[in-house]
């Protein structure tokens, strides 16, 4: 694989986390004592549309909007986002739309979330069953749909409604904290987002525009003053932005240096369209003319040139971020304070401590979560099992099988940047994707053979920088062994820093590293 292809594949983890942050994270609120206040406040919510310019590095690269329609017995909310992105020198169009129907107390009744990036659409449609369950269908063109029913406690919300629920539920005040349990409709795994009101300020918003016949674009006509409060998640992994007293966004930040700024429709959309059409007329590339490379903006300098050979041992200092909550210590990684040491697994770690033909009586129970199918990880699907058995041939040794699958995935998949949520069956069909697709397919194939495996996400070193990356871990010699079917490494070298273990819901934890983490290389060999 070329260095450029390795860099693209290594950075793809942040893209999916970013896409999930845009449209695939649903929010669940245990209203309890706040319920009455929230219901009363929601009655004061007025209908209307809010528009945003999407920018990166000061350049206008897209458009976003939020539309609220209040009816006697429900509230309809539609959120939309579209932007032209430059990723590793390639131009991509990314869009996300979420349509929600809420009760008058802001409790979710049904939702329809659609994401389409680089022609890879995915859709999640669901509805609530009282306050105890969510029933949803997740699918993509050409792939079988995945239907799930998940138990919940209390009413739930979608992501763009979290600021609204927070501001309407209690009077905004600097220093106020509140917690919102969240649920990812892709993996249906839950986490609690803890938010804080950091600051209060006045913003001047361009709320109307007039067309300039000379420049042939729209100019600001009138401005309005809006009081706003800055809301942040305490771990930096969720919403960060300024919202008004009704919870409507005034300005918000996304990973990769992307910023949403409220303004008049003509300034937000029409000027972007006009500039885009002019760029096309000159033959220039749309996204390149719009924003900077999103992967390069999320890369972290290593502070040292590690070299091209595979790294056996790496020792680094992780600076400027709180390390609590990450899976940094364990298996081949040792964390002492802020110093992390990684050692590539040796022969003893690759020697299986268990038999695939005669596992211990409690083996399947012990590894139940890393042997079973999951949404979009269809280990028990007949097509997946057939492929795994074909790769295995007559071998039964877990290490041999794990390595054969690693080699097959590396050889069989085309290395391309993919924005869609990875679906193991779809990857098996299309045979292409980035590190997330390689990891998803590897985990499904190994689980289909009865070998415990899981996804790991963190950073991988490529060409002088650490990029966001995903790779599998497989259980062999009484420990989890890191492998990398994207790079064709078995085991993976020590230039892989694991931060989290698990699927897409866990990958969002990496967002708090963006723009904050600093890495100092102390030793490499």
- Please report, for the domain that includes residue 479, its CATH number: 3.10.620.30
Residue ending a domain, choose from 252, 283, 314: 283
Using DSSP, state whether 5 is helix, strand or coil: helix
- Distance of alpha carbon 222 from alpha carbon 207, whole angstroms: 6
Is 392 inside a domain boundary? yes
3-state secondary structure of 305: coil
- Please check whether residue 293 lies inside any domain of the structure: no
**Same domain, residue pair 347 and 475:** yes
For 14, the token pair is: 């942040």
For residues 276 and 350, state if they share a domain: no
Q: How far apart are CA 447 and CA 183, in angstroms?
A: 25
HSE value, Cβ hemisphere, 13 Å, CA-based, for 319 = 11
Question: CB atoms < 10 A from the CB of 329, how many?
Answer: 12
The answer to whether residues 154 and 258 belong to one domain is: yes
- Residue ranges of E strands in 388-517: 414-415, 432-433, 453-462, 465-475, 480-482, 496-501
Tell me if 124 sits within 8 A of 138, measured CB to CB.
yes
Same domain as 308, residue 423: yes
Q: Indicate if 251 and 373 belong to the same structural domain.
A: no
Tell me, yes or no, whether 176 and 315 share the same domain. no
Look at residue 291 and tell me if it is in a domain. Answer: no
Question: How large is the greatest C-alpha to C-alpha distance in the chain, in angstroms?
Answer: 80
- Judged by DSSP in three states, 195 sits in strand
Q: How many residues does the chain have?
A: 525
- Whole-number CA gyration radius for the chain: 24
Does 202 map to a domain?
yes
Residues 272 and 406 in one domain: no
Q: Give which of 398, 406, 434 is closest to 490, Cα–Cα.
A: 406
Domain end marker among 248, 283, 318: 283
Cα distances from 461 to residues 10, 110, 347, 398, 499, in angstroms, run 8, 42, 23, 28, 14
* 55 located within any domain: yes
Structural domain boundaries enclosing 411: 299-357+366-524
Same domain, 420 and 466: yes
Identify the domain boundary among 283, 313, 333: 283
Cα separation, 290 vs 85, in Å, equals 8
Collect all residues with Cβ–Cβ distance below 8 Å to 40 and sequence separation of at least 6.
Answer: none
Sort strands 432-433 and 414-415 into parallel, antiparallel or unpaired.
parallel
Per-residue pLDDT, 298: 59
Same domain, 411 and 435: yes
Q: Are residues 139 and 224 in the same domain?
A: yes
- The owner of tokens 């415990």 is 452
pTM over 0.85: no
Domain-located, residue 91: yes
56 and 96 assigned to the same domain: yes
In this prediction, the residues of the chain whose per-residue pLDDT falls under 50 are: 5, 7-34, 185-186, 285-290
In a domain, 294, yes or no: no
Verify that 260 and 342 share a domain, yes or no.
no
Is residue 288 a part of any domain in this protein?
no
Q: Which pLDDT belongs to residue 42?
A: 62
Q: How many domains does the chain have?
A: 2
Nearest to 295 by CA among 90, 472, 93, 486: 90
Give pLDDT, residue 413.
95
Tokens describing residue 399: 């290490």
Structural tokens at position 471: 């790779």
What's the rounded Cα separation, in Å, for the pair 331 and 342?
9
Helix (H) or strand (E) holding 363: helix 363-366
């Amino acid at each position: 694989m070329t260095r450029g292809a390795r860099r693209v594949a290594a950075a793809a983890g942040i893209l999916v986390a970013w896409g999930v942050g845009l449209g695939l994270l649903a929010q669940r609120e245990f209203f309890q004592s706040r319920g009455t206040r929230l219901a009363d406040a929601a009655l004061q919510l007025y209908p209307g549309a809010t528009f945003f310019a999407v920018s990166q590095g000061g350049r206008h690269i897209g458009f976003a909007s939020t539309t609220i329609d209040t009816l006697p017995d429900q509230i309809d909310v539609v959120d939309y986002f579209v932007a032209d992105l430059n990723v590793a020198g390639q131009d991509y169009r990314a869009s996300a739309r979420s349509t929600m129907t809420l009760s008058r107390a802001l409790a979710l009744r049904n939702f329809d979330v659609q994401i389409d990036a680089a022609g890879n659409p995915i859709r999640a449609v669901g509805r609530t069953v009282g306050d105890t369950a969510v029933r949803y269908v997740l699918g993509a063109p050409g792939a079988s749909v995945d239907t799930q029913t998940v138990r919940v406690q209390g009413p739930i919300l979608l992501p763009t409604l979290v600021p609204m629920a927070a501001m309407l539920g209690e009077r905004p005040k600097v220093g106020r904290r509140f917690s919102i349990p969240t649920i990812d409709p892709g993996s249906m795994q839950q986490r609690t987002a803890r938010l804080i009101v950091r600051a209060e300020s006045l913003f001047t918003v361009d709320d109307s525009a007039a067309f300039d016949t000379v420049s042939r674009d729209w100019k600001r006509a009138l401005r309005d003053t809006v009081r706003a409060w800055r809301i942040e998640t305490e771990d930096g992994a969720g919403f960060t932005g300024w919202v008004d007293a009704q919870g409507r966004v005034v300005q918000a930040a996304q990973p990769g240096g992307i910023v949403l700024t409220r303004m008049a429709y003509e300034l937000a959309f029409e000027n972007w369209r006009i500039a885009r059409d002019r760029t096309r007329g000159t033959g220039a590339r749309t996204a390149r003319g719009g924003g900077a490379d999103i992967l390069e903006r999320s890369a972290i300098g290593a502070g040292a040139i590690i070299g091209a050979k595979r790294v056996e041992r790496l020792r680094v200092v992780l600076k400027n971020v709180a390390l609590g909550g990450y899976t940094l210590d364990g298996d081949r990684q040792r964390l002492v304070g802020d110093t992390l040491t990684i050692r590539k697994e040796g022969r003893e770690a690759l020697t299986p401590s268990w038999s695939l033909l005669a596992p211990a009586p409690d083996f399947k129970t012990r590894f139940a979560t890393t042997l079973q199918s999951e949404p979009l990880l269809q280990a028990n699907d007949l097509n997946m099992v057939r492929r795994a058995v074909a790769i295995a041939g007559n071998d039964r040794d877990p290490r041999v099988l794990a390595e054969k699958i690693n080699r097959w995935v590396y050889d069989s998949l085309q290395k391309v940047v993919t924005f869609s949520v990875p679906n193991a069956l779809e990857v098996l069909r299309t045979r292409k994707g980035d590190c997330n697709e390689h990891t998803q397919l590897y985990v499904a194939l190994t689980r289909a053979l009865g070998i415990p495996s899981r996804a790991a996400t963190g950073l991988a070193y490529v060409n002088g920088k650490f990029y966001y990356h995903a790779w599998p871990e497989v259980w062999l010699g009484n420990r989890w062994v890191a492998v990398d079917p994207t790079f064709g490494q078995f085991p993976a070298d020590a230039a892989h820093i694991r931060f989290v273990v698990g699927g897409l819901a866990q990958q969002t934890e990496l967002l708090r590293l963006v723009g904050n983490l600093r890495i100092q290389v102390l030793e490499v060999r």
